[in-house]
């Protein structure tokens, strides 16, 4: 029996087996008994990051057992839990996370291991909410770490290289309401002329384009609403946004006008968990038959970086479902693509045309090279270790952590060797 494919069906895992431990102890036993082993989340990465030649462990059978600590304002939960499940639990108890990615279907562990992000100039990626981890290391022992540990910033976005995370502690805050409004046909001139004002116009802003024409197709504003009874005025949004027009209450999917898979738009207030993701948990997110790519550049270079990619529009558009621009606040996590710099994330959802995408990636990376682009770890990119490693000033410290936590290289795989130069050793 093979392990099967990733969510998009574009990558077939080569692992020899899929194990389903039911407790931290069973995870530890599985790791100790394996030569090569990796954790598998909900399979939403597009490349071979999660894969191994040995055993994959899925943690979906561990009960979420979410424990809210109201004094510390944290929740501790099984790492394989999907954000959609945690969101329902937090909302029911009057709590919230600071942000979510476009889809709530992904596992917490898989998201935080890769620096998965939503949008918002003031919002760090989802990994920045992590304040504690329980990890089964390559030695098979169970380690619990918190933010006070000097190694912690190297352990959150860790690409599965340090161990199998079994429980995660996340910062939470009192629940809040968000409204989501869509605008259509934002002039390119406005984006290039008023970029900072546009992306700062709401709690979370996403711009969607196929790079063609004189306008970007859609703008999504996710506005955080004042708490009821706070005395703050209700939020009024204009009919026009930097030359784009309000879409009204029609549901627009970035994946196509005829697809009904989005969270509620039209300015209807709702809980954070039902507005911050683009896609509803009960629907297929995005398109389903696709490949994704994303690069992070310094937000200070946003306009120049966008213009550099736009020069490739004629080559990109024929193979593209949609591009999304989002912002991510700088953080201190050693392998976070937003490490040390407020970032613009330039995302591409491609048609499932692997050869065409493989041919385009070096062109896009060359166009972005002056801006030192960092790739999303879970999506497609062309650059290898000689280009990637110098982008991360704490990489040597991360390598040392990987050797400390996994001295026998149980979690090493072809991706870590190709992308980070972490050898696979002799085991
Ligand atoms: C439709 C779609 C929309 C997306 N939208 C966004 C978005 O808005 N923003 C964004 O940044 N990304 C986005 N992504 C990418 C996605 O968030 C990342 O690829 C993420 O890593 C997927 O999580 P997963 O649970 O599927 O992990 P997997 O793909 O299964 O694994 C990813 C990595 O996490 C590691 N991992 C998983 N579980 C554990 C564990 N318990 N312990 C240690 N390591 C573990 C794996 O070993 C692997 O290295 C999207 C992907 C899809 C398919």
- The string of pLDDT tens digits covering residues 111-165 is 999 999 999 999 999 999 999 999 999 998 999 999 999 999 999 999 999 999 9
Q: For a substitution probing ligand 1, which of 106, 138, 168, 276 has the most ligand atoms within 8 Å of its CB? A: 106
Residue of minimum CA distance from atom 50 in ligand 1:
44
Confidence check: pLDDT of 427 > 70: no
Centre of ligand 1 to C-alpha 160, Å, is: 11
pLDDT in tens, 36-76: 999 999 999 999 999 999 999 999 889 999 999 999 999 99
Q: Are 79 and 165 within 8 A, CB to CB? A: yes
Confidence check: pLDDT of 283 > 90: no
Tokens 């703050």 sit at which residue? 232
Structure tokens at 411: 């979690």
Residue of minimum CA distance from atom 52 in ligand 1:
44
Q: Are 78 and 166 within 8 A, CB to CB? A: yes
From the CA of 411, give the closest atom in ligand 1. 47
From CA 11, how far away is CA 419, in angstroms rounded?
A: 17
From CA 344, how far away is CA 304, in angstroms rounded?
A: 11
Which residues neighbour 418 within 8 Å (Cβ) at sequence distance 6 or greater?
384, 385
Q: What per-residue confidence (pLDDT) applies to 410? A: 97
From CA 332, how far away is CA 124, in angstroms rounded?
A: 10
Question: Does the beta carbon of 107 sit less than 6 angstroms from any atom of ligand 1?
Answer: yes
Q: What per-residue confidence (pLDDT) applies to 1? A: 58
Q: Which residues is 262 bridged to in the sheet?
A: 279
Across 158-174, average pLDDT: 98
Helix, strand or coil, per DSSP, at residue 182: strand
From CA 85, how far away is CA 105, in angstroms rounded?
A: 9
Q: For a substitution probing ligand 1, which of 21, 58, 113 has the most ligand atoms within 8 Å of its CB? A: 113
From CA 377, how far away is CA 395, in angstroms rounded?
A: 15
Centre of ligand 1 to C-alpha 111, Å, is: 4
Structure pTM? 0.97
Q: For a substitution probing ligand 1, which of 110, 169, 405 has the most ligand atoms within 8 Å of its CB? A: 110
pLDDT in tens, 363-422: 999 999 999 999 999 999 999 999 999 999 999 999 999 999 999 999 999 999 999 999
Phi, psi at 259, each rounded to 5° = -105, 125
Centre of ligand 1 to C-alpha 105, Å, is: 10
Centre of ligand 1 to C-alpha 81, Å, is: 12
Confidence check: pLDDT of 423 > 50: yes
Centre of ligand 1 to C-alpha 158, Å, is: 12
Specify the DSSP class assigned to residue 312: T
From CA 112, how far away is CA 333, in angstroms rounded?
A: 11
Q: Are 292 and 347 within 8 A, CB to CB? A: yes
Rg (CA), the chain: 21
- Angle formed by the axes of helices 354-368 and 302-310, to 10°? 140
Structure tokens at 352: 């499932």
Question: Does the beta carbon of 44 sit less than 6 angstroms from any atom of ligand 1?
Answer: yes
CA 113-114-115 angle, 5° bins: 105
Centre of ligand 1 to C-alpha 42, Å, is: 7
pLDDT in tens, 320-377: 999 999 999 999 999 999 999 999 999 999 999 999 999 999 999 999 999 999 999 9
Q: What per-residue confidence (pLDDT) applies to 424? A: 80
C-beta neighbour count of 12 within 10 angstroms: 12
Residue of minimum CA distance from atom 51 in ligand 1:
44
Q: For a substitution probing ligand 1, which of 12, 46, 47, 50 has the most ligand atoms within 8 Å of its CB? A: 50
Classify strands 177-187 and 244-246 as parallel, antiparallel or unpaired: antiparallel
Nearest alpha-carbon partner for 244 in 214, 212, 264 = 214
């Amino acid at each position: 029996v093979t392990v099967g494919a990733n969510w998009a069906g574009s990558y077939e895992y080569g692992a020899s087996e899929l194990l389903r431990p039911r407790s931290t102890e069973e995870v530890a036993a599985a790791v100790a008994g394996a030569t090569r082993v990796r954790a598998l989340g909900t399979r939403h990465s597009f490349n071979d990051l999660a894969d191994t030649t040995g055993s994959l462990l899925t943690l979906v059978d561990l009960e979420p057992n979410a424990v809210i600590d109201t004094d510390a304002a944290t929740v501790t939960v099984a790492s394989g839990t999907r954000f959609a499940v945690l969101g329902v639990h937090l909302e029911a108890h009057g709590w919230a996370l600071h942000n979510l990615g476009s889809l709530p279907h992904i596992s917490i562990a898989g998201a935080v291991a890769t620096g998965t992000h939503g949008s918002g100039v003031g919002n760090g990626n989802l990994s920045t909410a992590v304040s504690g981890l329980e990890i089964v290391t390559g030695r098979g022992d169970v380690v619990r770490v918190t933010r006070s540990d000097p190694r912690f910033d190297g352990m959150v976005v860790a690409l599965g290289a340090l161990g199998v995370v079994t429980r995660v502690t996340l910062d939470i805050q009192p629940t809040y309401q968000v409204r989501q409004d869509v605008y259509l046909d934002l002039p390119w001139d406005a984006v290039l002329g008023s970029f900072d004002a546009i992306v700062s116009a709401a709690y979370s802003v996403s711009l969607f384009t196929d790079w063609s024409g004189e306008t970007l197709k859609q703008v999504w504003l996710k506005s955080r609403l004042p708490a009821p009874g706070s005395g703050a005025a209700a939020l009024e949004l204009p009919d026009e946004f930097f030359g784009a027009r309000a879409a009204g209450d029609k549901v627009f999917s970035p994946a196509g006008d005829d697809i009904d898979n989005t969270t509620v738009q039209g300015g209807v207030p709702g809980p954070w968990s039902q507005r911050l993701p683009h896609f509803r948990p009960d629907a297929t997110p995005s398109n389903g038959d696709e490949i994704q790519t994303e690069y992070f550049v310094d937000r200070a270079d946003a306009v120049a970086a966008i213009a550099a990619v736009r020069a490739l529009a004629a080559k990109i558009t024929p193979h593209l479902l949609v591009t999304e621009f989002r912002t991510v606040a700088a953080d201190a996590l050693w392998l976070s693509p937003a490490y040390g710099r407020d970032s613009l994330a330039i995302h591409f959802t491609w048609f499932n045309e692997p050869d065409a995408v493989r041919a385009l990636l070096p062109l896009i990376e060359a166009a972005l090279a002056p801006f030192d682009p960092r790739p999303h770890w879970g999506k497609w990119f062309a650059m290898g270790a000689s280009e990637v490693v110098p982008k991360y000033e704490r990489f040597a410290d991360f390598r040392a952590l990987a050797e400390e936590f996994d001295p026998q290289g149980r979690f090493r795989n072809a991706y870590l060797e190709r992308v980070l130069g972490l050898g696979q050793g002799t085991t």
